[in-house]
Amino acid sequence: MSTTIPTQQLVERLKCAGYKITPARLAVLQVIDDDHAHLNPSDVLEQAKQLYPKLGRATVYRTLELLTELGILRPIYMGENTPRFIRAEGGHHHLVCNDCGDVIEFDECMAGDLTKVLQDQFGFEIGSHLLEFYGRCRDCR
């Protein structure tokens, strides 16, 4: 079951937080909404420029930072200097190869019971999680 927020809800979240919806921000939101991959800022710029050709790199970085501050996106670092961004809702699960850097995303969430235990033990309401396993992929072994 997908927990992603459609673009209109993203627009409303920005408006409610007091931000204007410019054509540049809207293009970034559409890319974030349409693509479920692990996007780096260059990926976002390339795709969003197809929607709004005047879009600049600085606007993409500022928008990604804003979306992170609002809890819409989460940066992840997978052996790279540049973060990639994923949606912050729900769980996100990866197998990351230490040799080639390949990332395998999987849907089977094994954190369900652990989430309940942690919430009960610490009185902490968990809204999302990131689970990553590092090792060597089939091709690198």
CATH at 24:
1.10.10.10
- Summarised one tens digit per residue, pLDDT across range 46-95 is 999 999 999 999 999 999 999 999 988 888 876 667 888 877 776 777 78
82 plus 60 within the same structural domain:
yes
114 plus 79 within the same structural domain:
no
69 plus 18 within the same structural domain:
yes
- Mean pLDDT on 101-111: 76
Gap between the Cα atoms of 26 and 55, Å rounded? 10
Give the pair of three-digit tokens for residue 133: 């396993």
pLDDT for the residue numbered 3: 45
Q: Exposed, middle or buried by CB within 10 Å (0-12, 13-18, 19+), for 128?
A: middle
- Summarised one tens digit per residue, pLDDT across range 11-39 is 898 999 999 999 999 999 989 876 566 78
In a domain, 1, yes or no: no
CB atoms within 10 A of CB 103: 17
In a domain, 141, yes or no: no
Spell out the alpha helix ranges (H) of 1-141: 7-16, 23-34, 41-51, 57-69, 112-122
Structural domain containing residue 29: 7-87
pLDDT for the residue numbered 90: 67
In a domain, 25, yes or no: yes
pTM above 0.75, yes or no: no
